[in-house]
Amino acid sequence: MDAELLPIGRRCFVQMTENPQSSGANRPPEKTKKVRGIVYLNANRCKGCGFCIAFCPQHVLEFSADFNAQGYHPPRLNDPDGCTGCDLCGLYCPDFAIHGVMLKYAPKPAEKPASEAREVRP
């Protein structure tokens, strides 16, 4: 288990002040990085569960210092260039608060999110 995984809920803010930014240590090396992603957040739906932060394969999400209307800390991107737009955050989020969009293809207004072009593997 990754020791960097942040605890959630009430404990998270304390943890954050000890560790204000994740190092983005898992960002893939430049030469293999072909995709870029955008993450959208509907902050007032977030309940601070931490799934997106824990299961982002690139570890580019962390709790922010902001509060949403319910008093939870929504996530923030600490390394925008590290996001690949895989949308695992969106797939995990139980509150439909966050989703990722892959920018491998030029986005057109009517197009479905490019992240859906990926095959779901068993």
Of 62, 20, 12, whose CA–CA distance to 41 is shortest?
Answer: 62
Minimal distance, residue 12 CB to another protein, in Å: 10
Near another protein in 56-95, by CB under 8 A: 65-70, 72, 74-77, 80, 83, 87-88, 90-95
Among residues 40, 119, 120, the alpha carbon closest in space to that of 80 is found at 40
Residue 104 as a binder of another protein (CB under 8 A): the answer is no
Q: What is the DSSP string of 19-61?
A: S-S---TTPPPGGG----EEEEE-GGG-----HHHHH-TT--E
Judged by CB under 8 A, the stretch of 14-22, 25-33, 96-104 that binds another protein is: 96-104
Cβ 15 to another protein, closest distance in Å?
12
Q: Which amino acid is at 38?
A: I
With CB under 8 A as the rule, give the number of residues binding another protein: 57
Q: Is 1 in the site for another protein (CB under 8 A)?
A: yes
